[in-house]
A and B are shown apart, each in its own frame.
Chain A
Amino acid sequence: EDQVTQSPEALRLQEGESSSLNCSYTVSGLRGLFWYRQDPGKGPEFLFTLYSAGEEKEKERLKATLTKKESFLHITAPKPEDSATYLCAVQANDMRFGAGTRLTVKP
């Protein structure tokens, strides 16, 4: 069965303290791995799609990377406005989501 596991569940950073979020997956026939940002009380917002191992995507302070078993979302010099829950999802026969990592960035 397709599975997506995100770690850590929660992460607290000081402003400017870089770190990474992990998404490990087991799936047959990966068609894409997705990162979403979700703010409290709102729907997930699409960030990135990664299709093959070795691929990287960047957007402002975020950089997503993909290997055959996991993906990382690197956050460089985060700001308080980066605080949110980050969701990882994999597309095979259907879309499976991880439970998310709740990121808090303190000023």
Chain B
Amino acid sequence: NAGVTQTPKFRVLKTGQSMTLLCAQDMNHEYMYWYRQDPGMGLRLIHYSVGEGTTAKGEVPDGYNVSRLKKQNFLLGLESAAPSQTSVYFCASSPRTQGSYEQYFGPGTRLTVT
């Protein structure tokens, strides 16, 4: 099992450019999440999905969109990148069965917006 994978690993964007981050999991988990991690601030939830075809906003959703067309994939889009979106982005998945809330994380994508 590969677990949770993310592509790309690194990306540099110019202000105003758009991009999509891809997350894939092979654990058949229902729940998937996108977080950003900034120094001293901990992980903050951007968007999440409780199942195929459903998405919901997290703590910091502005400037991002998501889609979950297939159960195993969760895409994070930046329509018009801003320097404030420079961060490390992590995808996670969770079984959420029988009260299991633990999350399993991917290796992250380091995004720089200039």
Contact = CB atoms under 8 A, between A and B. Distances in A.
A and B form one complex:
yes
Interface in A36-77: 36, 41-46, 49, 51
26 contacts: A4-B42, A31-B99, A32-B101, A34-B102, A36-B105, A42-B108, A43-B4, A43-B90, A43-B107, A44-B105, A46-B102, A46-B104, A87-B42, A91-B101, A94-B45, A94-B48, A95-B33, A95-B45, A95-B103, A97-B43, A97-B44, A98-B42, A99-B40, A99-B41, A99-B42, A100-B42
Query: Which of A31, A42, A44 is packed against the most chain B CB atoms within 10 Å?
Result: A44
Contacts, number: 53
B4 A95 contact: no
Interface of B: 4, 33, 35, 40-45, 48, 58-59, 90, 92, 99-108
Interface of A: 4, 31-32, 34, 36, 41-46, 49, 51, 87, 89, 91, 94-95, 97-100
B4 to A, nearest CB: 7
Name the prevailing secondary structure of the A interface residues. Answer: strand
Nearest to A42: B107
Contacts of A32: 99, 101-102
